[in-house]
A and B are shown apart, each in its own frame.
Chain A
């Protein structure tokens, strides 16, 4: 059984404190840093602990193994320790002190004391942790594993914090703007007053239009590629085209719509729907194809053996089995269409407060432009400095985010629900 060495363990604890506190200071930057003496004490303690455990390590390791202190280990350790010492000395002699302003390489930024010191400490504590873990595990590969995997775990923590941060910031700042009036009234006075009802309507109809175009085309294309196509050449060309279409930047879709559709239909709901539909097409083709591929061939063969034609097989056997996957793709398409701004900026939207014109109460007038949540938010961002629209902007962002994320959650739920249920 390996003896647990207290010195590296203690230095890890100290260094973790330094790491977190310096990170917090990097982010919030309190002006007179209150922790400087703690930091220096911690760094000094680490320096002593690491040197001490390095010097005593020799005795713990059983003889007969490979040489412990190879050059590849001594030199990095020495470099790290001298870096720690350098930081302590720089602060002690006041070279890094209040009033420090660094400018270098002609970068248009000033690095002040409030940034430089936490950064130096952060780096030092990271190095200290690295060396302490190595010493704790006697420079075995197990130590490296612990070090790397804890960094890998940090990336997961970072992602969760990021998502939580985005949602909670928008929720807390935006919830104040939400009221019944905000959701049901059009905006007036350049968005400083009123609500976003026209944007919600516009977003709804744009998404409906886009899905009306992309759903049949996308599912049809996927069925053709997976169930019908006999020419592998055509299949390959279509696959490449779908891949390219998937990668076309949203702003290019906007340019395409401007050149192609606006000339014919004018700035209108129709033009925006077609563009959004085209943009959604690859997503829907790819997800539907995936779903169709997962239907086992034995089902198709069984149906054909009963004398069903190809289309009957597809309609009665393949599509019902693939439905959850196809549905997930469609829902994700809805969320994407609701969150896009660039493709419709010049093709479908204006900052208008007039509600969508309806025929017979259910059919929108597709030749008129509409307002849209994303475009409304963009305009409010442009107005930020000039008018008092910040609260309305947070409210709009909250509505948009809630809308898109809840649609995505439905998609995730549908997929998970059916994944558990279906087994071939």
Chain B
């Protein structure tokens, strides 16, 4: 391969040599576009939110107990509380179905059921979020309202259920890859010792795949907090601290629903406009940290305990 690095030594015609250089430069430009895009996104979000942070104060903004745009009070505590509550419940539903499904696909399913389930999961992953939101408004919200005698079914619970269900395919796909990467010898060794298949899964396969599974869960946390349309339509969009803090039956708001719900009506350049960018900036920071830490966690667990 060494000679490929120095085309000039290999007597290629001059025109082709420069053509190759030109193509390489183009490809290089394409490769660094994503770095450029990431830098630009961070730059524009911090630039636009800077004004809000300066006007309101960083601590008042992040920890303030009230989000009341009409009174120019912008505290993100209610939004953060809503996001934490929604993410927790949604993640519970997500893991409850997603991980067993991955186990089924990688350990139990025969050829036939795999051929049905794999495309089904991929299709489910492709359902647009606005369609989930639409079904959420017309079916889930109505169901919750009737079942639990709520003032309105638009609630943190509705958002959690919807988001939890939405991201099952994403979790399952990554978990299945992690489970499949565990070498056959491990499982066969365990089975040969007389363990049942479930004992093998629990004591051998799952621990060996744990780094991948934990990384998948962290990535999914990022996806859940960042999901917009479905959340916007069902959470109720009332940015107020739930009154026992764990009251999932109350209306609430999360980062994305506040931004998407209020950006349409806000005056360009007002303090409210910049505050919404600040909310977006905090969201971006959280999700980016989660994404990078998913990678680091995977590497750390693999280094410490081995695994796949």
A310 sits at the interface (CB 8 A): yes
Complex alpha-carbon distance, A166 and B128, angstroms: 11
Interface centre among A151, A249, A258, by most B CB within 10 Å? A249
A251 with B280, Cβ < 8 A, contacts A339-B130, A409-B123 known = yes
Cβ–Cβ contact B100 & A230, under 8 A: no
Nearest 10 pairs between A and B by C-beta?
A249-B226, A339-B128, A220-B30, A110-B149, A224-B27, A145-B198, A109-B249, A109-B148, A247-B291, A155-B100
Can you offer 27 A-B residue contacts whose CB atoms are under 8 A? A105-B246, A108-B249, A114-B147, A141-B199, A153-B108, A156-B104, A166-B135, A220-B26, A230-B5, A241-B35, A241-B38, A246-B291, A247-B223, A247-B287, A248-B288, A249-B284, A249-B287, A250-B226, A250-B228, A252-B45, A260-B40, A310-B4, A339-B126, A339-B127, A381-B133, A400-B131, A401-B127
The interface size bin for chain B is: 35 or more
A residues less than 8 Å from B291 (CB atoms): 243-244, 246-247
Given the known A-B contacts A341-B129, A401-B128, are A255 and B280 also in contact in the complex, defined by CB atoms under 8 Å? yes
Contacts of A115 in B (CB 8 A): 147-148
Which of B66-74, B180-188, B257-265 sits within the interface?
B257-265
A294 within 8 Å of B by Cβ? Answer: no
Docked-complex contact A156 and B113, CB < 8 angstroms = yes
Which of the 9-residue segments B15-23, B57-65, B84-92, B299-307 touches chain A?
A: B15-23
Q: Does A223 contact B (CB under 8 A)?
A: yes
B281-294 toward A: CB 8 Å interface, digit per residue (1/0)?
A: 00110011011100
Q: Let me know if B263 and A346 touch, CB within 8 A.
A: yes
CB distance from A381 to the nearest CB of B (A): 6
Q: Which of B168, B219, B247, B264 contacts A108 (CB 8 A)?
A: B247
Query: How long is the Cα–Cα vector from A378 to B34 in the complex, in angstroms?
Result: 30
Give chain B's interface residues, CB within 8 Å of chain A.
1, 4-5, 7, 10, 12, 16, 19-20, 23-24, 26-35, 37-38, 40-41, 44-45, 47-48, 97-98, 100-101, 103-105, 108-109, 113, 116-117, 119-124, 126-131, 133-135, 137-139, 146-151, 165, 168, 195-199, 219, 222-223, 225-229, 233, 243-244, 246-250, 255-256, 259-260, 263-264, 276-277, 280, 283-284, 287-288, 290-292, 295
B226 touches A256 (CB 8 A): no
Cα of A108 to Cα of B243 in the assembled complex, Å: 9
How long is the Cα–Cα vector from A151 to B97 in the complex, in angstroms?
10
B292 near A240 (CB under 8 angstroms)? yes
Rounded to whole Å, the gap between the CB of B139 and the closest CB of chain A is 7
- Chain B residues lying within 8 Å of A397, measured Cβ to Cβ, are 131, 134
Dominant SS among interface residues on chain B: helix
Contact A341 B277 (CB under 8 A): no
Whether the Cβ atoms of B31 and A245 lie closer than 8 Å is no
Q: Is the CB of A258 within 8 A of B134?
A: no
A98 nearest CB across to chain B (Å): 15
Q: Which of B48, B128, B280 contacts A404 (CB 8 A)?
A: B128
In Å, the complex CA distance between A250 and B280 comes to 11
Which residues 398-421 of A sit at the B interface, judged by CB distance below 8 A?
Answer: 400-401, 404-405, 407-409, 412
Q: Which residues 210-265 of A have a CB within 8 angstroms of B?
A: 216-221, 223-225, 228-230, 234, 237-238, 240-256, 258-260
Which residues of B have CB within 8 Å of A256?
A: 40-41, 44-45
Instruction: Please name all residues of chain B whose beta carbon is closer than 8 Å to the beta carbon of A228 when the two chains form the complex.
Output: 24, 27-28
Q: Which residues of B contact A229 (CB under 8 A)?
A: 31
Q: Given that A112-B149, A159-B168, A255-B277 are known contacts, is A248 also in contact with B34, CB under 8 Å in the complex?
A: no
Assembly CA distance A238 to B97 (angstroms): 34
User: How many residues from A make CB contacts under 8 Å with B?
Assistant: 103
Are B127 and A405 in contact (CB-based, < 8 A)? yes
Determine the distance from Cα of A141 to Cα of B123 in the docked complex, in whole angstroms.
36
**Is the Cβ of A252 less than 8 Å from the Cβ of B34?**
no
Interface pair B128/A159, CB less than 8 Å apart:
no
With a 10 A CB-CB cut-off, give which of B34, B256, B277 has the most chain A CB atoms: B34
Given A310-B7, A342-B228: A148 and B198 interface contact (C-beta under 8 Å): yes
Given that A144-B198, A163-B123 are contacting pairs, would A111 and B41 also be in contact in the complex, using a CB cutoff of 8 Å? no
Provide the A120-156 mask, 1 if CB < 8 A to any CB of B, else 0: 0000000000000000000001101100110111111
Q: With A107-B249, A377-B134, A400-B131 in contact, is A217–B44 under 8 Å at CB?
A: no
A166 touches B127 (CB 8 A): yes
Near B by CB (< 8 A), chain A positions 356-393 give 374, 377-378, 381, 384, 390, 393
Binary interface encoding of chain A residues 141-180 relative to chain B, with 1 for a CB under 8 A from any of its CBs, else 0: 1101100110111111011101100100110000000000
| A253 CA / B42 CA spacing, docked (Å) | 11
Residues of A within 8 Å of B122, CB to CB, are 408, 412
- CB within 8 A of A163: which of B120, B131, B264? B120
Q: Which of B16, B27, B255, B291 has the most CB of A within 10 A?
A: B27
Given A109-B148, A405-B127, the answer on whether A149 and B197 have CB atoms closer than 8 Å is: yes
Task: Give the Cβ gap from A382 to chain B, nearest Cβ, in Å.
Answer: 9
Q: Closest residue to B146 on the A side, CB-wise?
A: A29
Closest chain-B Cβ to A99's Cβ sits at a distance in Å of: 13
Tell me, yes or no, whether A329 is within 8 Å of chain B by CB. no
Q: Once the chains bind, are A251 and B226 in contact (CB under 8 Å)? A: yes
